[in-house]
Amino acid sequence: MASRPVRPLRAIPVVGSIVRWHEERLTARGRYLLWAALALGLMGADTRRSQVYVLFAVAMGTLVAALVVTSWRGPGARLECALPGRATAQTPLVVRARVWAEEGRRDNLRLSFPRPTRWGSSIAVRPRETFLAAAAEAPTEMCVELRALRRGRYVLRTPSLRATDPLALAAGPAPRARDHVLLVYPRFYTLEGFAVPAGRRYQPGGIPLSSNTGDAIEFVGTREYREGDPVRNIHWRSWARRGEPVVKEYQEEYFARIALVLDTFAPEKPTPAEERSFEAAISVLASIADHYSRSDFVVDILAAGPEVYEVSAGRSLAYLDNILDVLAGLEPCPAAPFAAVAPPLFDKLARITTVVAVLQDWDEARERFLREVKALGTAVHVIVVHEGETTRPFAAVGPEVGDIVHMTPDDVDRLIAASAPSPRAQEARRG
């Protein structure tokens, strides 16, 4: 599980423009020549004692000539390359590109995949640049492997096709294309079974707020129309018979509703172990959400951070993609655990039958929060994802709070490695 990278140079306004020009207008060969020329310039600074400056002049002159030749030279070809919209961390994707020449044949073309502005080192592309020729009769096809090393929301710059000079030192301009958003999901494993206590509790609004599958809506009769009743509940035959509006009346439903609560709290400057625990906790919650997405339960995902992120799934309310979209861009919160978000969480948890809490540690604040959840009459199942011993031992309070399971990031890695890819993970691999 990769740690969060530092801010790259390309994200700094002025420096970023120079870095992007260096990567886009110079090929790998041209960049080597540029740095070699600068080194030769330093070594030959004293022109009276060394003739190295001659090599500097030749190298720099060749590079400048290549830039001048390609400055106004368009590619004369068109590129077709569809980037994926979703991927799974550390899972390779194959991206196919097709190039046609506008007419005749075009040589000395470079196909390159620019790095994203943020987390540029976290997107590995092989090969990042390719030299090719294109003909108008048939497309030239290329396959490129794209691998995201960590989850996140990436803004990718679309691949560019540029003309190069005969020595392939510099590349010409390319039309500006729209940026592309890539959501990289956390890695997760397939759960064949996940046993938690699941009761049934009255849900205001009944099944219509969940879906029309599972527990059936029971029609219990009709009554007179009241202001605010939905039009879809009008019983048209009774209206025609009685001469006044009549609506259908349903029995409110009781069913199981499970909340997955994710602990997103981390220090402002987390250690590598704390970063691994955070990523592992997200993987565990994604695995549980994947399991429940194939069940008949109504599931609420509550990510407790600076604000409460809420996603509902199950009973056809939403697909797993909605949950994974939120988890892809989730960042750690440096605030005190559950201090600010506990009150709004309790309002939601009062309608829940079972809470599955994925925590990164066990301390007094987390224990107090779960005791208050238990006091609502809600069943509690806890998974603590933490490297080594927790801040406070939890074995003694297990019977009072609920089932508590301890996992390490290495345990999560082993489960992911041993698990067959879920159907949703396979779709993310295909993009």
| DSSP per position, 116-134 | PSSSGGGEEEESSEEEEEE
Q: Band of the pLDDT at 376, cuts 50, 70, 90?
A: confident
Contacts with 119 (C-beta within 8 Å, 6 or more apart), sequence order: 5, 8, 150, 152, 154
Residue 225 near residue 242 (C-beta atoms within 8 A): no
Highest mean pLDDT out of 193-197, 374-378, 396-400, 402-406 = 402-406
Count of other CB atoms within 10 angstroms of residue 43: 13
**What rounded mean pLDDT belongs to the chain?**
80
pLDDT at 3: 45
Q: Is the confidence at residue 22, as pLDDT, over 70?
A: yes
**Bridge partners (DSSP) listed for residue 116:** none
pTM of the model: 0.74
Helix axes 13-25, 28-43, angle to 10 degrees: 110
Query: Can you read off the two tokens belonging to residue 19?
Result: 């870095």
How far from the centroid of its chain's Cα atoms is residue 327's Cα? 6
Query: For the chain, first and last CA: distance in Å?
Result: 21
- The single-letter code of the amino acid at 134 is A
For residues 306 and 308, give the distance between their C-alpha atoms in angstroms, rounded to a whole number: 7
pLDDT at 283: 93
pLDDT at 204: 47
**Bridge partners (DSSP) listed for residue 134:** 106
Q: E-assigned strands of 82-193?
A: 86-88, 93-101, 105-112, 123-126, 129-135, 140-148, 152-156, 160-163, 180-185
Please give the biggest Cα pair distance in the chain: 112
For residues 93 and 428, give the distance between their C-alpha atoms in angstroms, rounded to a whole number: 9
Domain architecture of the chain: domains with CATH: 9-185 (2.60.40.10), 218-252 (no CATH), 255-430 (3.40.50.410)
- CA dihedral for 276, 282, 285, 287, sign (positive or negative): negative
Contacts with 320 (C-beta within 8 Å, 6 or more apart), sequence order: 289, 290, 293, 313, 424
Contacts with 11 (C-beta within 8 Å, 6 or more apart), sequence order: 117, 118
Query: Can you read off the two tokens belonging to residue 402?
Result: 């609920």
Highest mean pLDDT out of 13-17, 118-122, 231-235, 323-327 = 323-327
Q: Is the confidence at residue 27, as pLDDT, over 80?
A: yes
CA distances from 365 to 72, 319, 333 (A): 64, 33, 15
Span 200-233, pLDDT tens digits: 544 444 444 444 334 445 555 677 888 777 777 7
Query: Can you read off the two tokens belonging to residue 124?
Result: 């590995």
Q: Per the omega criterion (within 30 degrees of 0), is the bond before 127 cis?
A: yes
How far from the centroid of its chain's Cα atoms is residue 110's Cα? 30
Span 179-188, pLDDT tens digits: 889 999 999 9
Higher pLDDT residue, 258 or 67?
Answer: 67
Query: Can you read off the two tokens belonging to residue 303?
Result: 């990510």
Query: Can you read off the two tokens belonging to residue 199?
Result: 């009761």
Burial of 246 (0-12, 13-18, 19+ CB in 10 A): buried
For residues 178 and 157, give the distance between their C-alpha atoms in angstroms, rounded to a whole number: 7
